[in-house]
């Protein structure tokens, strides 16, 4: 059963961010389009994987705030999320053409 109050709490916690990690449930991403949200999910999953590998190898050194802001300004826009997903979407449709059948 869907719990509207839980959805409201998740939305409030997410705020204007693109993603959240839901304890015992996994990742949640949002975007201005399904394509954008899918790309943020893929990237967040990759980032989580890299973080786990780095932690397993030793003590990772986080990037500084300035570097994080630069990366965000270069690749964190809604348009960048949508655009970056397009080659993957094209490959999926080519590999699975019946995906779009009704």
In this structure, is the dihedral angle defined by the CA atoms of residues 54, 37, 14 and 27, taken in order, positive or negative?
negative
Give pTM, 2 decimals. Answer: 0.85
Range of the domain at 17: 4-100
Count of structural domains within the chain: 1
- The CATH number linked to 55 is 3.40.225.10
CA dihedral 41, 43, 44, 50 (to 10 degrees): 150
C-alpha to C-alpha distances, 72 to 3, 23, 51, 80, nearest whole angstrom = 33, 25, 18, 10
Q: What is the pLDDT along the chain (102 residues), one digit of tens a residue?
A: 568 888 899 999 999 999 999 999 999 999 999 999 999 999 999 999 999 999 999 999 999 999 999 999 999 999 999 999 999 999 999 999 898 888
């Amino acid at each position: 059963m869907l719990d509207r109050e839980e959805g409201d709490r998740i939305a409030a916690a997410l705020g204007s961010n693109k993603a959240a990690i839901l304890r015992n449930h996994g990742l949640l991403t949002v975007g201005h389009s399904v394509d954008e949200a899918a790309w943020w999910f893929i990237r967040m999953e990759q980032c989580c994987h890299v973080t786990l590998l780095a932690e397993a190898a030793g003590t990772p050194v986080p990037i500084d705030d300035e570097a994080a802001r630069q990366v965000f300004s270069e690749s964190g826009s809604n348009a960048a999320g949508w655009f970056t997903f397009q080659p993957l979407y094209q490959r999926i449709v080519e590999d699975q053409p019946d995906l779009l059948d009704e």
